A = this chain, B = another copy of it.
Amino acid sequence: MISLKQIRYALAVERTLHFKKAAESCAVSQSALSTALSEMEKQLGFQLFERNNKQVLITPLGKQALEKAQEIKLLMDDLARLGESQGELLHTTMSIGIIPTICPYLLPVVLPTLQNEYPALQLHISEEQSHELVEKVRNGDLDAGILALPYDCEGLLTFKFWAENFFWITHAGDALADKPQLSNDELDTQRLMLLKEGHCLKDHALSVCHLSTISEHHLSATSLNTLVQLVANGLGTTLIPEMAVPQLVEENPKIAKVPLAEPGPHREIAFIVRPNYPSIKNIELLMQLFQHELQVLRSDSK
């Protein structure tokens, strides 16, 4: 009879493609892992891995088996978590992924309160782009994700908890810096710099400008912080979301922000969770808490 141990070992080898590393990641000896997998292959009646002294390959049937194995592991994790759904809320370990254009601005807003009010919560935060986030939430590597909509999250629950606008950012001396708002026409003539391909904020910003692609003249960077540094030194302008304003703009006398004429909200922020995630209540509570802290931040800065 195939055991969960064997399944865990097999998944570790799939990850590492290396028996010794897999054994380490399972905290057992390489010998134990080798034997367990041989036995598993015997029970299955086919090879999972083709292995020699130089490399480990996954056989075609092995690939199918490992997909099932992954599903089983996911369900086992869910089962183990079921107990938490009745215990005290946020009294557990949670892994949450957040996209880079939200993460550094949201965390300082919510973490202090979170740590005060729920000291038993062990948060593991990772910064990832939307596509990785969706993938990892789907396969259970993450308990939840936070990203900006619209984004294709098919098969996942989405809980919108925030909506905000973008601001146009230019250097302090710019002639347009004191305008009450910037029209779309004016925006189009600017030397706009956005994030590199892969960041959803680029797409959302382009959508605000009613553009589908960005011209090659526009520089691109890998973080909003970098973009703002470029703006501060007169190399162009950019768009940043409201929640980044306190950190990136307000402390910096060399740049100015101008609201956009384009009606908002320009992006909506949501949690994504697997529908079967066992303690959705934890996610809902987190969401309410985040929403509240963001509201406090917004009213403070008015």
Chain B's closest residue to A40 (CB) is B79
Contact A83 B4 (CB under 8 A): no
Q: Given the complex, which residues of B lie within 8 Å of A84, measured CB to CB?
A: 45
- Residue in A3, A61, A75, A84 with the greatest tally of chain B CB atoms within 10 Å: A75
Overall SS of chain A's interface: helix
In the complex the two chains form, what is the Cα distance from A79 to B43 in whole Å?
A: 10
Chain A 81-121 interface 0/1 with B at a Cβ cutoff of 8 Å (1 = within): 01111110000000000000000000000000000000000
Supposing A44-B82, A46-B83 touch, asked if A2 and B64 sit within 8 A by C-beta, the answer is no
Q: Which residues of B contact A2 (CB under 8 A)?
A: 4, 76, 79-80
* Residues in B neighbouring A1, C-beta threshold 8 A: 4
Nearest-neighbour CB distance to chain B for A224, whole angstroms, equals: 41
A191 to B64 CA separation, bound complex (whole angstroms)? 56
Q: Which residues of B contact A45 (CB under 8 A)?
A: 83-84, 87
Contacts of A78 in B (CB 8 A): 68
Tell me, in angstroms, the Cα distance from A75 to B72 when the chains sit together. 6
* Contact-residue size bin, chain A (C-beta under 8 Å from the other chain): 20 to 34
Q: Can you give 27 contacting A-B residue pairs, CB < 8 Å?
A: A1-B4, A3-B3, A3-B4, A43-B80, A44-B79, A44-B80, A44-B83, A45-B84, A45-B87, A46-B82, A46-B83, A61-B82, A61-B83, A61-B85, A61-B86, A64-B82, A65-B79, A65-B82, A68-B75, A68-B78, A68-B79, A68-B82, A69-B79, A71-B75, A72-B72, A72-B76, A72-B79
Please give me the 7 A-B residue pairs with the lowest Cβ-Cβ distance, nearest first.
Answer: A45-B83, A68-B79, A72-B75, A44-B83, A46-B83, A65-B82, A71-B75
